[in-house]
Amino acid sequence: MDSSQLSRYGRIVQVIVGTGTRVEIDKAVERLAADQAWDICGPLLASASELAARVLISRLLEAEVYAPLAYAAAMRRQVKRTQIQTKKTVMSRRVFRDLDTETEAKAIPDHIQAELDDLAVGAEEAREIADRREAERDACPVRTVIVNELATAMTKSDEALDAMVAVVRASAFEDTRRSAALKIITHPTALDRLTRAKRVDDLVAVALSARLDSAAQTVAQLLGERAEEVIAGGSRAALRLLAKHHPDASIREKASTALK
């Protein structure tokens, strides 16, 4: 996508990423589909409003265009809702303002002031910890929708499977990587297609992202069918997987030796 394309669809960007109405969003998405402007759909999905994202996802699935979905599942952050100031928060701030006013009006004993300072510091630290935890979770319903839809589509489409693998390998979010990996690991047909295509690195990425011993054992057994070829290929991640999780002791030993 070049800048001229971005300029051409400037109003569409404003509608989908901004606060367009449902009617405006529908028209914008249909314009993109009519022009087959798929290159811009990935970046749009990464930052679209939730409503616009869902409409665009449905249209991409209908057109069987999956790459933009992988792009969004790899890069989209949860769009944070505007924080509403509760009455309790307002009251607590009012108390601190009153205390500050009183501090200016008359001296507060040092030991009380020290306690107030400690309370303020503690409250700030608690807010920072909560913010970090929220950022780590970053649960995004749009990413979840994408993974679920790709899981359905990959049963019949190699392109959808490729998109799901791309999510496993590239998503910046652990929950999304793991969810996509589990969808693949529990789908025998998808695993068989990856195995027949000799996509060793992709299989290993799926096993590791699933974060389950059972997933690692499943992939190790699949790789074991071509153990000599895998060992000769020298992928250290694949060798470590075989050395630790393959049920055949001889294959585990060969993989361990190749790692040395």
| Choice among 59-63, 191-195, 226-230 with the minimum mean pLDDT | 226-230
Give helix 22-35 / helix 10-17 axis angle, nearest 10°. Answer: 140
CA max distance for the chain: 83
* Residues 217-249 as b or e (16 or more Cβ within 10 Å = b): bbbbebbbeebeebbeeebeebbbbbbebbeee
Chain centroid, CA 182 distance in Å: 14
42-67 pLDDT tens trace: 999 999 999 999 999 999 999 999 99
pLDDT of residue 100: 54
| pTM, two decimal places | 0.76
Domain ranges of the chain: 1-65, 87-137
Identify whether the C-beta of residue 172 lies closer than 8 Å to the C-beta of residue 75: yes
Identify whether the C-beta of residue 171 lies closer than 8 Å to the C-beta of residue 180: yes
